[in-house]
Amino acid sequence: MTEKIIVRVSGVTKDFDLGKIVVNVLKGIDLEIVEGKYLSIMGPSGSGKSTLFNMIGGLDKPTSGKVFIDEVDIAQLDAYELAWLRCRKIGYIFQTFNLIPVMTALENVTLPMTFAGVANDDAIEQGMALLRQVGLEGRHAHKPTELSGGQQQRVAVARALANSPAIVLADEPTGNLDLKTGEDIIDLLKELSSERKVTVISATHDYKMLNVSDQVIWIRDGRVEKIQERSELEISTGGLE
Partner 1 sequence: MKRLIALPLKKSLEIAFQSIRVRFFRSLVTTTSLVLAVAFLCFMRCCNDFAQALLNAGDISAYQTLIKAGYDVGFGSDVIIASAKQRWIVTLSLLVCIVGIINAQLMSVTERFREIGTMKCLGALDRFIVRLFVLEALMQGLAGSLIGAVLGVLTALISSSFNLGAGIFQAFPWGLIGWSILISMLIGTGLSLAGVIYPAILAARMQPVEAMRLEQ
**Residue 34 interacts with partner 1 (CB under 8 A): yes or no:** no
According to the binding rule CB under 8 A, does residue 182 interact with partner 1? Answer: no
Query: Side-chain half-sphere of 51: how many Cα atoms within 13 Å?
Result: 26
Site string for partner 1, 84-113 (x = CB under 8 A): x-xxx---x-xxx-xxxxxx-------xx-
User: Which of 38/92 has CB closer to partner 1?
Assistant: 92
50 binds partner 1 (CB under 8 A): yes
Residue 218 binding partner 1, by CB under 8 A: no
Q: State whether the Cα torsion 72-75-77-81 is positive or negative.
A: positive
Instruction: Tell which one of 10, 27, 34, 59 touches partner 1 (CB under 8 A).
Output: 59
d(CA 72, CA 160): 21
Nearer Cβ to partner 1 (111/216): 111
Spatial contact of 110 and 73, defined as CB atoms under 8 Å apart: no
The whole-angstrom separation of Cα 89 and Cα 227 is: 25
CA contacts within 13 A on the Cβ side of 225: 13
Interface with partner 1 (CB under 8 A): 50, 54, 59-60, 79-81, 83-84, 86-88, 92, 94-96, 98-103, 111-112, 114-117, 159, 171
